Chain A
Amino acid sequence: MRRAWRKLLYRLRRAQLEAELAEELEFHRSQLDSGQGGLQMGNITRAKEESRDMWSFLRLERLWQDLRYAARLFGRTPGFTMVAVLSLALGIGGNASMFSLVNTLLVRPLPYHEPGRLLRMTGVYPRAALPVFQQQSSSMDVASASPGSACNLTGEGEAIRVVESNTSANFLSVLGAAVARGRAFEPGENTPGRDQVVILSNSLWKTKFRGDPAIVGRSIAVEGVNRQIVGVMPPAFSYPSARVQLWTPARLDPSKMEEYWGGEYVPLIARLRPGATLAQARGEIPALAGQVRRLFPFPMARDWNAAATAISMQQDLTGDIRGRLIILLSSVGLVLLIACANVANLLLSRATTRRKEIALRTALGADRFRIVRQLMTESILLACMGAGSGLLLGRAALSMFKSMLPPSTPGLSSVEIDWPVVVFVAILALLTGVAFGIAPALSVAQVDLTESIKTGSQRSTAGVWTAVRSWLIAGEVALTLILVISAGLLMKSLLRLAEANPGFDPAHVFSVQISPNQAACSERAGCIALYDRIIAEARRIAGVSEVSVVNTLPLDGELPAIPVDVEGHPKSADYPAPMLWAGAVSPGYLRMMHIPLLEGRQFTEADSAQAAKVLIITRATARHFWPGQSPIGKHIKSAAEAQWRTVIGVAGDVRQFSLAANLPDFVGGAIYMPYAQSTVGARQGVEQIPAAMHLLVKARTDSPRLRGEIRSLAGDQAPNAPVGEVRPLEEVIAVSVGDFQSMIRVFTGFAATAILLAAIGIYGLVSYWVTQRSYEIGVRMAIGATRQRIVSMVFAQSLRVALFGIGAGVLGALACTRFLASLLYGVSTTDPVIFAAVMALLLGIAVSATAVPAWKAARINPIQSLRAD
Chain B
Amino acid sequence: MGTRSKPAEILPGTLDLLILRTLDAGAMHGYGIAQRLKQVSDEVLQVGESSLYPALQRLLLNGWVEAEWGASENNRRARYYKLTAAGRKQLAVERGEFARMIGAIQKVLELA
Contacts and interface: CB of A to CB of B under 8 A. Distances in A.
Given A37-B35, A42-B48, A54-B61, A24 B7 contact: no
A36 B31 CA distance: 10
Given A23-B77, A37-B34, A51 B53 contact: yes
B54 to A, nearest CB: 4
A17 B3 CA distance: 31
A47 B77 contact: no
B7 to A, nearest CB: 6
Contacts of B72: 27
Interface of B: 1, 3-4, 7, 29-31, 34-35, 38, 46-54, 57-58, 61-63, 72, 76-79
Contacts of B48: 41-43, 47
A37 B35 CA distance: 7
The 10 closest A-B pairs by CB, nearest first: A42-B48, A41-B48, A42-B50, A50-B54, A54-B57, A47-B50, A46-B50, A47-B49, A42-B49, A51-B57
Interface string A1-27: 011001100100000000011011101
Given A24-B78, A27-B76, A27-B77, A41 B49 contact: yes
Given A27-B78, A54-B61, A39 B49 contact: no
Given A28-B30, A28-B31, A51-B57, A44 B49 contact: yes
Given A27-B72, A368-B1, A50 B50 contact: yes
A3 B61 contact: yes
B50 A44 contact: yes
Nearest to A447: B1
A23 B31 CA distance: 12
Given A50-B54, A368-B1, A24 B63 contact: no
A318 interface: no
Contacts, number: 87
B56 to A, nearest CB: 8
B35 A2 contact: no
Contacts of A413: none
A28 B78 CA distance: 9
B1 A27 contact: no
B54 A51 contact: yes
A130 to B, nearest CB: 80
A43 B50 contact: yes
Contacts of B79: 20, 23-24, 27
Nearest to B56: A51
A449 B50 contact: no
Given A7-B61, A363-B3, 15 more contacts: A21-B57, A27-B77, A28-B34, A30-B76, A31-B31, A36-B35, A37-B35, A41-B47, A41-B50, A43-B49, A43-B50, A47-B49, A47-B52, A51-B57, A54-B58
Given A28-B49, A42-B50, A46-B50, A6 B61 contact: yes
A31 B31 CA distance: 7
Contacts of A50: 50, 53-54, 57
5 contacts: A2-B63, A37-B35, A39-B46, A44-B50, A47-B54
Interface of A: 2-3, 6-7, 10, 20-21, 23-25, 27-32, 36-37, 39, 41-44, 46-47, 50-51, 53-55, 362-363, 365, 368, 449-450
| Chain A facing B: main interface SS | helix
A36 B7 CA distance: 20
A29 B29 CA distance: 13
Nearest to A30: B76
Interface-centre pick from B3, B54, B58 (highest chain A CB count, 10 A)? B54
Nearest to A39: B46
Contacts of B61: 3, 6-7, 10, 54-55
Contacts of B78: 24, 27
A24 B30 contact: yes
B29 A362 contact: no
A41 B30 CA distance: 14
Contacts of A450: 3
A25 B53 contact: yes
Nearest to A3: B61
B49 A25 contact: yes
Nearest to B62: A3
A463 to B, nearest CB: 20
Nearest to B46: A41
Nearest to A2: B63
Q: Which of B31, B61, B72, B79 has the most CB of A within 10 A?
A: B31
Given A46-B50, A368-B1, A55 B63 contact: no
Nearest to A31: B31
A7 B53 CA distance: 17
A368 B7 CA distance: 20
A362 B77 contact: no
Contacts of B47: 41
Nearest to B51: A42
Contacts of A55: 57, 61
A25 B4 CA distance: 22
A103 to B, nearest CB: 48
B53 A21 contact: yes
Given A27-B78, A47-B53, A47-B54, A449 B1 contact: yes
Contacts of B57: 21, 50-51, 54-55
Contacts of B35: 36-37
Contact of A362 (B1, B7, B31, B63): B1
A57 to B, nearest CB: 12
Given A27-B76, A31-B31, A37-B35, A6 B63 contact: yes
B34 to A, nearest CB: 7
A27 B31 contact: yes
Contacts of A53: 54
Residue of A28, A43, A55, A365 with most partner-chain B CB within 10 A: A28
Contacts of B58: 54
A7 B76 CA distance: 29
B46 to A, nearest CB: 6
B112 to A, nearest CB: 35
B58 to A, nearest CB: 5
A363 to B, nearest CB: 7
B31 to A, nearest CB: 5
A495 B13 CA distance: 77
A32 B35 CA distance: 10
Contacts of B62: 3
A17 to B, nearest CB: 9
Contacts of A23: 77, 79
Contacts of A46: 50
Contacts of A3: 61-62
B75 to A, nearest CB: 12
A39 B7 CA distance: 12
B87 to A, nearest CB: 14
A29 B72 CA distance: 14
Contacts of B34: 28, 37
A21 B55 CA distance: 13
B107 to A, nearest CB: 34
A308 to B, nearest CB: 73
Nearest to B4: A365
Contacts of B53: 21, 24-25, 47, 50-51
Contacts of A41: 7, 46-50
